Structure 1
């Protein structure tokens, strides 16, 4: 998919700030440093881009852009992580122009989508009770995502560091392993859906819909009123699923990396 030329700055900025804040709590980095309003997020044990990136949170904070990027790069180097900048509508245009001038490459555009949870009333679906067995969930998630089992300690630590209440949703077939998995994080009146994945052999059979519906219904019963999620723009199957449930785009973000990476 061709990336749009510039992340729109016409988004509802108060909503963007709130959703960015809850997403940070829902997917916590192991180490967070601030340089002015820039947040430098680093997670040595798990290579998530959301957990290893620089995020600018105030459009007016544009001083010493290149110097600050160099300082951040040294922190990434010390963690053994590639330098990544995450562009949201909160990033000043001057920062993005500096990245372009210095040859940074733009990649992986994603949508942040929201849903009024009252809309779930129009659907039927099975209930799945959340698990609290992090080890079992991590094993299933790594298998379904096709990730290295050696990442288990890092992902388990990340999930264990989530502060708001959360549910680990997992469907397995005895003798055949995991079918689908998702995390739902309830942060007051907001519910975040993360890490939804369905086994390739079971896609197109309603497993993703069932898992998503169950997780969001659980959050709504606990008092959540608005759901949010992040999905890569090229994930057409995921977008179709979320739109079927009633999710609508709130804003977009993308990543930048130095040309040499």
Structure 2
């Protein structure tokens, strides 16, 4: 049986670590919207109570109106906290299910981090954003929105970049230290520099940094079909805690 208390804590950590510009509530449904960035985590409805399933049709329409006002497609992010009746409603109306994601955790004290090379996080958000966009191969038009999101993070954030002389950044990751927890986000390795150990190096470096600041447990989110990333995280010591996915009406298309 799913440990909903653990799910609630990890969901709350995720919201703090990846803050949306606008947060509203419809009952226990958290409506997150961000005009400057298309991330689904920043632009989705997040039901947070399995027992809150009243007036589903009316509430879905209300949230659809909010998303239309933002120019965003309506997306529901369905974790174990979402009521089963809501999924049944989506099934009955032909809403598709996509981008299943695994939430994984690890006890930092059980990880082998002593031989990890120390890399200090960089201080300039703009420099990290430039490196992240380059390594991910993303559109540079996302820079203002990503900078705004990262600047809004309230817990301590470590921005890590692995660089090679002559070729620039090859791997990036964001580590958010929140009390005894450390969240790993936005891991990427440049396409021409994969399978060289850069991803493991930058992740373990970030975890070592978090451990030195008192973090005891690490967590992350990774798409279930990203076999290479899941394999990397499992080899480091992460194990699955729960999954979530997204639901969307058949007449709309998901963004990035």
- The residue number in structure 1 matching 2:89 is 98
- 1:258 paired with 2:249, answer yes
Gaps of 5+ in 1: 1-9
Describe how 1:12-31 pairs up with structure 2 within 5 A.
Answer: 12-31=3-22
- The residue number in structure 2 matching 1:140 is 131
Deviations 1:52-92 (CA, angstroms, capped at 9, x unpaired): 10010001111111111111111111111111000100011
SS in 2 for 1:121: coil
CA distance in 2, matches of 1:122, 1:17: 28
SS in 1 for 2:40: coil
TM-score (norm 2): 0.96
Give the counterpart of 2:175 among 178, 184, 188.
184
Give the counterpart of 1:202 among 193, 198, 205.
193
- 1:84 paired with 2:71, answer no
- 1:230 paired with 2:214, answer no
**Equivalent residue pairs, number:** 252
Please report the RMSD computed on the Cα atoms of aligned residues, expressed in angstroms.
1.0
Deviation at residue 124 of structure 1 after TM alignment = 2.6
SS in 2 for 1:219: helix
CA distance in 2, matches of 1:58, 1:88: 10
CA distance in 1, matches of 2:165, 2:115: 25
CA distance in 2, matches of 1:215, 1:19: 19
Deviation at residue 173 of structure 1 after TM alignment = 2.3
CA distance in 2, matches of 1:123, 1:207: 17
- 1:60 paired with 2:51, answer yes
- Cα contact 1:120–1:217 (8 A) shared by 2: no
Gaps of 5+ in 2: none
CA distance in 2, matches of 1:245, 1:180: 17
